[in-house]
């Protein structure tokens, strides 16, 4: 079968910088902190989604990737391409990183709609794909879900990209999650709110705040005002889009410990939730708040901060349940 242009098959994409999916507006990087601009270059959450005709035995993907050096922290990560069909994990194919290579993923019989999750650590760029023994077409387009957050949203400590809470919740809700999580970031950067306002999407989730405790310390009053300002800017482009604010999940070291400006994470969390509820009460009926503290226990944390796979699954279920009520309200 001939090689196909991957562009119609890409999902989870926000912007393109040339042919490379990126997670911040390439024409608006100068206003962003350097760490966010750096994280935005990684294709977190980007997938290949296709419909395989009956009789298609496999899909081949030609890609280009960065090969980590022996001293690179990513050197030990497995380079695996995971195949999913709806909420069912089909299997994965692991290969050695290469500047350019072809990976083959066997398909189960009968055809259907599939998603290939890429190994994010090596920033693979899909170049082409083709069917083996059948035919491929782009998967149906699903509603786009814009998910803004920090390293927890980005999927840190999930054992595979497809196990992050946005990816899992997207499968549960049949949405196309666009992962706008930035490790170390999501500190209420208002240029990101303006970028979100310009980005098409049918539902939005804002899940940040934990980095406002220590990485860039904030007070509760500052976070309250910043959440209001952030939402106001997002609303300039999405005045009636369903929007869910998720406050920080458990972080044991920070819950009752004061940061450099005297605020505990508990106080910051309450400020964030109060800002969301006040905005809703003031006339934004499409804004909802999901308190993050009850979502995880200490057993769901891999390192005292980031969820393990079980924690990501719990977050996904809670967010999916909240969004179901927002997207499909009961009479």
Domain boundary assignment for the chain: 7-138, 144-327
- SS3 (DSSP) at 143: coil
**32-69: per-residue pLDDT in tens?**
999 999 999 999 999 999 999 999 999 999 999 888 77
Q: What is the largest CA-CA distance in the chain?
A: 64
Q: What is the pLDDT of residue 123?
A: 81
Residue 302 has pLDDT above 60, yes or no: yes
Angle in degrees, 0-180, between the axes of helices 165-173 and 309-327, rounded to the nearest 10: 40
CATH number of the domain located at residue range(s) 144-327 in this protein: 3.40.50.1110
DSSP string for 162-229: GGSHHHHHHHHHT-EEEEEE-TT--S--HHHHHHHHHS--SEEEEE--GGGTTTS---HHHHHHHHHH
Q: Read off φ and ψ for residue 143, nearest 5 degrees.
A: -60, 140
Quick one: pLDDT at residue 76? 65
Q: Do the Cβ atoms of 145 and 12 come closer than 8 Å?
A: no
Segment 244-268 shows an average pLDDT of: 98
Helix (H, G, I), strand (E, B) or coil at 105: strand
pLDDT at 331 over 90: no
What does the radius of gyration of the chain's CA atoms come to, in whole angstroms?
A: 20
Burial class (CB in 10 A: 0-12, 13-18, 19+), 18: exposed
pLDDT of residue 325: 94
Which letter does DSSP use for residue 252 in this model? T
Average pLDDT over residues 256-266: 98
Contact of 147 with 153, CB cutoff 8 Å: yes
Residue 94, judged by CB atoms within 10 A of its CB (0-12, 13-18, 19+), counts as: exposed
Task: Give the domain 7-138 fold.
Answer: Jelly Rolls (2.60.120)
The per-residue pLDDT for range 60-105, each reduced to its tens digit, is 999 998 887 777 766 667 789 999 999 999 999 998 878 899 999 9
- Between CA 196 and CA 230 the distance in angstroms is 10
- Does residue 287 register a pLDDT over 80? yes
DSSP labels, 266-311:
HHHHHHHHHHHHHHHHTT-TTEEEE-SGGG--GGGBSSSSSB-HHH
Question: How many Cβ atoms are within 10 Å of 249's Cβ, its own excluded?
Answer: 27
- Tell me what pLDDT residue 136 has: 98
Same CATH fold assignment for domains 7-138 and 144-327: no
């Amino acid at each position: 079968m001939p090689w196909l242009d991957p562009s119609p098959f890409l999902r989870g994409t926000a912007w393109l910088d040339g042919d490379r999916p990126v997670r911040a507006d390439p024409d608006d990087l100068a206003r962003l902190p350097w760490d966010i601009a750096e994280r935005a270059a990684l294709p977190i959450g980007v997938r290949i989604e296709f419909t395989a005709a009956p009789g298609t035995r496999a899909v081949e993907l030609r890609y280009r990737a960065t090969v980590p050096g022996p001293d690179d922290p990513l050197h030990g990560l497995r380079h695996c391409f995971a195949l999913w069909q709806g909420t069912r994990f089909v299997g994965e194919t692991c290969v050695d990183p290469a500047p350019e290579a072809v990976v083959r993923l066997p398909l189960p019989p009968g055809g259907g709609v599939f998603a290939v999750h890429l190994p994010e650590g090596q920033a693979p760029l899909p170049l082409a794909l083709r069917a083996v023994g059948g035919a491929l077409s782009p998967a149906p387009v699903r509603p786009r879900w814009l998910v803004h957050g920090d390293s927890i949203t980005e999927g840190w400590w999930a054992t595979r990209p497809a196990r992050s809470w946005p990816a899992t919740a997207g499968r549960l809700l049949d949405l196309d999650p666009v992962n706008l999580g930035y490790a170390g970031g999501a500190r209420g950067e208002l240029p990101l709110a303006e970028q979100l306002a310009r980005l098409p999407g049918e539902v939005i989730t804002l899940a940040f705040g934990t980095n406002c405790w220590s990485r860039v310390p904030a007070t509760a009053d500052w976070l309250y005002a910043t959440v209001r300002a952030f939402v106001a800017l997002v609303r300039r482009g999405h005045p009636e889009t369903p929007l869910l604010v998720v406050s920080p999940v458990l972080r044991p070291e920070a819950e009752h410990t004061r940061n450099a400006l005297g605020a505990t994470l508990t106080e910051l969390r309450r400020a964030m939730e109060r800002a969301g509820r006040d905005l809703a009460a003031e006339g934004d009926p499409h804004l909802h708040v999901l308190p993050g503290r009850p979502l995880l226990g200490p057993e769901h944390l891999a390192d005292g901060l980031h969820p393990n796979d079980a924690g990501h699954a719990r977050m996904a279920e809670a967010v999916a349940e909240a969004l179901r009520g927002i997207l499909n309200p009961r009479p």
